Amino acid sequence: MKFSKSHQRFANRLRVQRALDCPEEFLGPNWREVLNFWLYQDTLNFDDTKNVQMLLRNLDEADRVSAADLAWDAAHGIINDRCFIAAFTTAYIIFGPTSWRVTCELIGSHKILEQGKPLTFVPLFLNL
């Protein structure tokens, strides 16, 4: 298995190298999507990041806040606090709030979609 920089940082922050080989135990049922996003994130350049930030700013503020809260709640309900904090420090501190929001959306995507709500932040990374 190829490990992204974020996946490696996540395991290091947990201080559990098993998180590399058994990510499903730490990232929940959507672990493949999270790891695929983290691998994809490694390929992004400055212009890609700038484009995503522009797309994020174009979202209605109330929709952006509501979607961020929804993603946070969904992810926090899936993984334990220790994993949540490790994912936060990996995604947010290293790559910023948009990466964290996508990570949360992916972790809890099945919960969000079960509520009949769309993913808001994941689509920002499409077609870069």
- The whole-number average pLDDT for the span 103-125 is 96
Domain that holds residue 117: 5-125
Residue 75 and residue 107 in contact, taking contact as beta carbons nearer than 8 Å: yes
- The whole-number average pLDDT for the span 18-30 is 97
pLDDT number for residue 121 = 96
- The whole-number average pLDDT for the span 70-98 is 92
Q: What is the DSSP string of 12-24?
A: HHHT-THHHH-TH
CB within 8 Å of 54: residues ≥ 6 apart: none
- The whole-number average pLDDT for the span 67-79 is 95
Task: Please report, for the chain, how many H helices and E strands are present, in that order.
Answer: 10, 0
> How many structural domains are present in the chain?
1
| pLDDT over threshold 90, residue 94 | no
Give the pLDDT band of residue 93 (cuts 50, 70, 90).
confident
pLDDT number for residue 47 = 92
Separation CA 74–CA 82 (nearest Å): 16
Give the pLDDT band of residue 9 (cuts 50, 70, 90).
very high
